[in-house]
Structure 1
Amino acid sequence: MLLMDGVGWSRMVERTEAYFDDHKVVEDLGRRALRGGIVSLVMQYGNGALQLVGAIILARLLTPEDFGLVAIFIVVTSFAPMLIDFGLGEATAQRSRITPGQISSLFWFSTAGGVIVAVVSAAFGPLIASIFHDPRLGPITLCASVTFAFLGVSSQHMALLRRTMQFGAIARIQVSSTFVGVVVAVAMASYGYGYWALVLRPIASALCVVIGSWFLCSWKPGLPVFDSEVKSMMRFGLHVVGFSVAYNIAKAVDRIGLGLFYRPDVVGYYQNATVLYEYSILLVIGQAQAVGTPSLSKLRSDPVALRQKYEAALSVLAFFLMPIAAILSVTAQDITVLLLGEKWHVAGSLLSIVAARGIFQVVEGSQAWLHLSLGRPDRWQNWGVVTLGVQLMAVVAGLSFGPTGVAAATVLVALLIAIPSVVYAGGSIGIDAALVIRAVGPQLVGAIGILAAGWGLQIAILSDFQSLIRIPLSVAFCTFLYLLIVAGVFGLTGPIKLVGSVARDLMRTR
Structure 2
Amino acid sequence: MSEAVAAYFEEHRESHDLGRRALRGGIVSIVIQYGNAVLQIVAAIVLARLLAPEDFGLVAIVTVLTSFAPLLIDFGLLDATAQRSRVTPAQVSGLFWVSAGIGMAVAVIVAACSPVIAWIYDDSRLLPISLCIAVTFVLAGLTNQHMALLRRTMQFGRIGRIQLFGTFVGTIAAIAAAMAGYGYWALVLRPVTSAICVVIGTWAACPWRPGTPVFDDEVKSMVRFGLHVVGFTVAYTLSRAVDRIALGLLYRPDQVGYYQNAMNLYDNSIYAALNQTHAVGSSALSKLQANPAALREKYEAALSMLAFFLMPAAAILSVTAEDLTVVLLGQKWQAAGALLSIIALRGISHVVEGSQGWLHLSLGRADRWQTWGIISLVAQVGAVLAGLPFGPAGVAWGVVIGYSVIALPSVMYAGRPIDIGAALVIRAVGPQTIGAVATVAAGWWLQATLLAGVPALLRMVLSGCFCACVDLAIVVGVFRHVEPLRIAGTIIQDLMRKR
TM-score (norm 1): 0.97
- Aligned residue for 1:171? 160
- Residue in 2 that maps onto 1:4: none
**Partners of 1:326 and 1:415 in 2: how far apart?**
14
Q: In the alignment, what sits opposite 1:90?
A: 79
Asked if residue 389 in structure 1 is aligned to residue 387 in structure 2, the reply is no
1:417 aligns with 2:420: no
Specify which of 457, 460, 463 is matched with residue 468 of structure 1: 457
CA distance in structure 2 between the aligned counterparts of 1:334 and 1:99, rounded to whole angstroms: 52
Note the C-alpha offset of 1:15. 1.4
Q: Distance in 2 between matches of 1:488 and 1:495?
A: 14
In the TM superposition, what whole-angstrom CA distance separates every residue of 1:22-77 from its partner, at most 9, and x where no partner exists?
Answer: 00000010000000111111111001111110111101100100000000001101
| Equivalent position of 1:8 in the other structure | none
* Structure 1 residue aligned with 2:134: 145
- Matched residue, 1:297: 286
Q: Specify which of 359, 369, 373 is matched with residue 348 of structure 2.
A: 359
Letter of the 1:290 counterpart: A
| 1:399 corresponds to 2:388 | yes
Q: Distance in 1 between matches of 2:469 and 2:206?
A: 44
Distance 2:247 2:184 in 1: 19
SS in 1 for 2:9: coil
| 2:317 matched residue in structure 1 | 328
Q: 2:387, 2:398 within 8 Å by CA — same for their partners in 1?
A: yes
Q: Deviations over 1:234-278 (max 9, x none)?
A: 000000000000000000000000000001000000000000000
Query: How many percent of aligned residue pairs carry the same amino acid?
Result: 64
Distance 2:317 2:190 in 1: 26
What is the CA–CA distance in structure 2 between the aligned matches of 1:433 and 1:323, rounded to whole Å? 21
Aligned length: 499
Residue from 233, 240, 257 that aligns with 2:229: 240
Instruction: Spell out the pairing of 1:470-489 with structure 2 (5 A cutoff).
Output: 470-489=459-478
For residue 202 of structure 2, what is the aligned residue in structure 1? 213
Matched letter for residue 347 of structure 1: A
Partner Cα distance (1:123, 1:432) in 2: 46
Q: Does 1:119 align with 2:123?
A: no
Where does residue 428 of structure 1 map in the other structure? 417
Q: Give the aligned residue type for 2:41.
A: L
* Aligned counterpart, 2:437: 448
- 2:31 counterpart residue number: 42
1:226 to 215, 220, 238: 215
Residues 353-399 of structure 1, C-alpha deviation per residue, up to 9 Å, x if partnerless?
Answer: 00000000000000000000000000000000000000001101111
Partner of 2:99: 110
> What residue number does 1:51 align with?
40
Distance in 2, matches of 1:55 and 1:468, equals: 18
Does the aligned pair in 1 maintain the 2:232–2:371 contact within 8 Å?
yes
Match of 1:6 in 2: none
Give the AA of the match of 2:2: V
Structure 2 unaligned segments of length 5 or more: list them. Answer: none
Determine whether 1:135 maps to 2:87. no
Residue 476 of structure 2 aligns to which amino acid in structure 1? A
What is the distance in 1 between the residues matched to 2:99 and 2:106?
10
- Counterpart secondary structure, 1:19: helix
Counterpart contact for 2:243–2:384, Cα < 8 Å? yes
Report matched runs for 1:169-208 at 5 Å.
169-208=158-197
Contact 2:75 2:99 in 1 (8 A): yes
Q: Secondary structure at the match of 1:37?
A: helix
Alignment RMSD (CA, Å) = 0.6
Letter paired with 1:501: T
Match of 1:160 in 2: 149
Shift of 1:85: 1.0
Equivalent residue number for residue 346 of structure 1? 335
Matches within 5 A, 1:272-283: 272-283=261-272
> 1:9 — aligned with what?
none
- Report the alpha carbon displacement of residue 133 of structure 1 after superposing the two structures with TM: 1.4
2:235 matches 1:250: no
Q: 2:2 aligns to what SS in structure 1?
A: helix
Contact 2:311-2:432 at 8 Å conserved across structures: yes
Amino acid at match of 1:389: V
* Matched-pair contact (CA < 8 Å) for 2:380–2:403: no
Alpha-carbon deviation of 1:134? 1.1
Q: Structure 1: how far apart are the matches of 2:240 and 2:87?
A: 33
What amino acid is aligned across from residue 244 of structure 2 in structure 1?
A: R
Q: How far apart are residue 144 of structure 1 and its match?
A: 1.1
Counterpart residue type for residue 279 of structure 1: N
Distance in 1 separating the partners of 2:417 and 2:160: 33
Amino acid at match of 1:197: A
Distance in 1, Cα, partners of 2:283 & 2:453: 50
Q: Separation in 2 of the partners of 1:272 and 1:316?
A: 29
- Structure 2: distance between partners of 1:167 and 1:179: 18
C-alpha distance in structure 1 between counterparts of 2:251 and 2:53, whole Å: 13
Structure 1 runs, 4 residues or longer, greater than 2 Å off: none
Shift of 1:200: 1.0
The residue type paired with residue 77 of structure 2 is L
Gapped runs of 5+ residues in structure 1?
1-11
2:60 is the counterpart of 1:68: no
Counterpart Cα distance in 2 of 1:393 and 1:50: 35
Distance 1:393 1:130 in 2: 26
Matching residue of 1:493: 482
The alpha-carbon deviation at position 453 of structure 1 amounts to 0.3
Letter in 2 for 1:196: W
Post-superposition Cα deviations, 1:414-435, rounded to whole Å, max 9, x if no partner, equal: 2100000000000111100011
1:94 deviates by 0.5
Give CA deviations for 1:167-226 in whole Å, capped at 9, x if unaligned: 111011000000000011000000000000001100000010000000000100000001
Superposed CA deviations along residues 444-467 of structure 1, whole A, max 9, x for unmatched, are 000000000000000011010001
Give the distance between the partners of 2:194 and 2:439, measured in 1 at CA.
Answer: 37
Inter-partner Cα distance in structure 2 for 1:112 and 1:386? 30
Q: Provide the rounded CA distance (Å) in 2 between the counterparts of 1:266 and 1:28.
A: 50
